[in-house]
Amino acid sequence: MKKNDLCVITVHGYTAEGMGVGRTDDGMAVFVPGAARGDRLEVLLVKVLKTYAFGKIQTILEPSPYRAEADCPHFGKCGGCDFRHLSYEEELWLKARRVHDAMTRIGGFDLPVPPITGSPDTDRYRNKGQFPVGRGPEGTVYGFFRSRSHQLIPLTDCKLQSAESCALAAAVCRWADEAGVAPYDEETHAGILRHIYVRQGRAGLHLTLVVRKDRLPREERLVELCREAVPALCGMVVNVNPDRGNRVLGPACRTLWGDGRLEDDLMGNTYRLSPLSFYQVNHAQTENLYACAAAWAAPDGDTEALDLYCGVGTITLTLAGHCKTVMGVEIVPAAIEDAKENAARNGIENARFLCADAGQAAAKLAEEGFRPGVIVVDPPRKGLDEAAVKALCGMAPRRIVYVSCDCASLARDAKMLFEQGGYKPTRVQAFDMFPRTANVETVALLER
């Protein structure tokens, strides 16, 4: 087989990224975006390697019973969604299978994975949108990048975002055209407006403009247009990112109008969130996820607990009502300030917070003799580093609760925790935090 050959395959499964997998007559694996398990396809090979190939669908000869009609005109172009061609039941099946395969093949654990917890909503569930901007034929446009590129696909709506978020983005684009504010150009490092960043909570919507330079023309007009578009707007912030690169947010924020932070309720507590602070994007599913993590942590009134990668303290403060003391550790200073204020706002006095790298903090706490009964970790996609694994084992908690947005790094870290500290996963639960995308959230309980 060679590039541009046509072949016929039947799709029998999915990759971790959600591509369909089938085999040619001579046994070569072919990975195909937009395919469904059970499809019989004519495929054009676009890249052929020694033992596998990548292809794209030429003809659907026999459609899978799990295939659905895509309900978004941007699907397949914009990089936001992966699974609008599948029924939701099939999407849940493949995500549960992905978690099971990771724990088995990467971690080496023969552990049953119960049915995944589906999201209460599959559309309009995101409380956060980060829209890059660009120049279109008729002016400034917002959208998302095409998958694996920085080619902007302009949008007028996104089925994952709220209608109000898209209305705010459109209002900002109108202001940019009126004020002569050019979109940022990555190649030339020219232009001003980089991203439109919208969050939504109980108090309304909060808008952050990510710009290359701080001072903007006609700021009063910007506020006027945005408040007209979304009366529930509660605050506007300017975030300055003068650097080249893919990082969206810069370190400095200036409140332009209203409240500089967003307020929301979660798990019975009230939180204030700065634009730089992490917060889960699917509110209803987050409550399911955190309820599971707290139940599995199962601290009693005499337990000391540690929450690494604590963000604004959502899990920390959830644990506080069930244990003697709890410490949250987070490297982002704005998030730690939010966490301290959130504890005070909710009358929680047995939680304290440390601004530090999680792995380094864990190692230092272990050296100081800190021995929490339970440790909760919610690391970024890359997972734990070796220093953090060593420190967790050195503190010798009774149990570790691991919240993960990448089941592959979870499985790898669980294997290290087992080999170095004897911590074996005894329960795993997957949550569909991000419907229509390839991402899946997982909670694992590890016990000695």
Cross-sheet strand order for the sheet of 20-23:
6-10, 40-48, 52-62, 29-32, 20-23, 13-14
| Beta partners for residue 400, in sequence order | 375, 446
Taking the chain, what is the end-to-end CA distance rounded to the nearest angstrom?
50
- Is residue 205 within 8 Å of 198, Cβ to Cβ? yes
Q: What backbone phi and psi angles, to 5 degrees, belong to 406?
A: -145, 105
Amino acid at 378: D
Task: Determine which helix (DSSP H) or strand (DSSP E) holds 337, and give its type and residue range.
Answer: helix 333-345
Q: Report all structural domains of the chain as residue ranges with CATH numbers, in order of start.
A: 6-62 (2.40.50.140), 96-120+282-447 (3.40.50.150), 128-260 (2.40.50.1070)
At 274 the three-state DSSP class reads coil
Query: How many angstroms from the chain centroid is the CA of residue 207?
Result: 19
Q: What backbone phi and psi angles, to 5 degrees, belong to 409?
A: -70, -35
The dihedral sign for the CA sequence 44, 47, 53, 57? negative
d(CA 278, CA 392): 23
In tens digits, the chain (448 residues) has pLDDT values of 899 999 999 999 999 889 999 999 989 999 999 999 999 999 999 999 999 999 999 999 999 999 999 999 999 899 899 999 999 999 999 999 999 999 999 999 999 889 999 999 999 999 999 999 999 999 999 999 998 899 999 999 999 999 999 999 999 999 999 999 999 999 999 999 999 999 999 989 999 999 999 989 999 999 999 999 999 999 999 999 999 988 999 999 999 999 999 999 999 999 999 999 999 999 999 999 999 999 999 888 889 999 999 999 999 999 998 999 999 999 999 999 999 999 999 999 999 999 999 888 988 888 888 899 999 999 999 999 998 999 999 999 999 999 999 999 999 999 999 999 999 999 999 999 999 999 999 999 999 9
Query: Is residue 226 flagged as an active site residue?
Result: no
d(CA 320, CA 336): 16
- Dmax over CA atoms of the chain, in Å, equals 67
**Eight-state DSSP code of residue 273:** E
Say which of 292, 310, 323, 405 is annotated catalytic: 405
With tokens 């895509």, the residue in question is 70
